[in-house]
Amino acid sequence: MQRSSLSDTLHAVMSQRPIPDPIREGEESVWEYSRPPSLEGVSKRIDVVLGGVLIATTQRAFRVLETSHPPNYYLPLDAFLEGSVVLGDGTSYCEWKGRASYYTLRGGEQSAINAGWSYENPSPAFAALRGHIAIYADRMDACYFDGELVIPQPGGFYGGWITANIKGPFKGVPGSGNW
C-alpha cells in the first residue's frame, strides 16, 4: 500500500504542468513549442556585446524551440569578431542535438569562460547547427534580438533568451525541475 501511494504521489508531481501565461497576437508561448525541440532559421538582427565591444552580429541565425524554454539562438561562427571565440573546457550531452563543446568568449578586456556552446557533430535533425554558437546572455554585457535587450532564461543552466513576445512561465525558475 505504501509503495502504491508513493508511486501515485510521484506521478502527480511529475505530471504537474504550470499554467501558461496568456498570449496575445504576435506573442509566443513556450508551452506551444514542441518536444523534441524544433529548429528554425532567423533573419532578424542579433547583436552580442562583451567588454564594451560588439563581438557578434548577424541576420543569419537559428533558434531552437523546446517546450517550457525560451529560444536558444545559434549564431554562425563568421558572425563573431576575430579572436572573440576560444575553445573552452568540457562537454555536455543533449539527447536531441548531441555532444556540445563550450567556448570562452572575449571582448574588450573581458573573458566569459564557457559562455558559448556548439555542436560540431549534431544529430541529423539539427545538422544546420554545425558551425554555429549559442550564447548564455547572462554572461554578456548585453544581447539584443531585433534591437530589443534580451532577458536571460532564469536558473543559469539553459541559456534561453527572453524577449517581450515570449511568454512563460519558463523552466529554470525554482520548482521547475520536473517540467
Question: Which CATH number fits the domain that encloses residue 19?
Answer: 2.170.150.40
Cell numbers for 3: 509503495
Q: Which residue range is the domain that position 48 belongs to? A: 2-167
Q: What is the pTM of this model?
A: 0.89
Q: What is the pLDDT along the chain (179 residues), one digit of tens a residue?
A: 455 555 544 444 445 779 999 999 999 999 999 999 999 999 999 999 999 999 999 999 999 999 999 999 999 999 999 999 999 999 999 999 999 999 999 999 999 999 999 999 999 999 999 999 999 999 999 999 999 999 999 998 899 999 999 999 999 988 888 88
- Whether residue 73 lies inside any domain: the answer is yes
- Whether residue 176 lies inside any domain: the answer is no
Q: For residues 87 and 109, is the Cβ–Cβ distance under 8 A?
A: no
- Whether residue 139 lies inside any domain: the answer is yes
- Whether residue 135 lies inside any domain: the answer is yes
Number of domains in the chain: 1
- Whether residue 6 lies inside any domain: the answer is yes
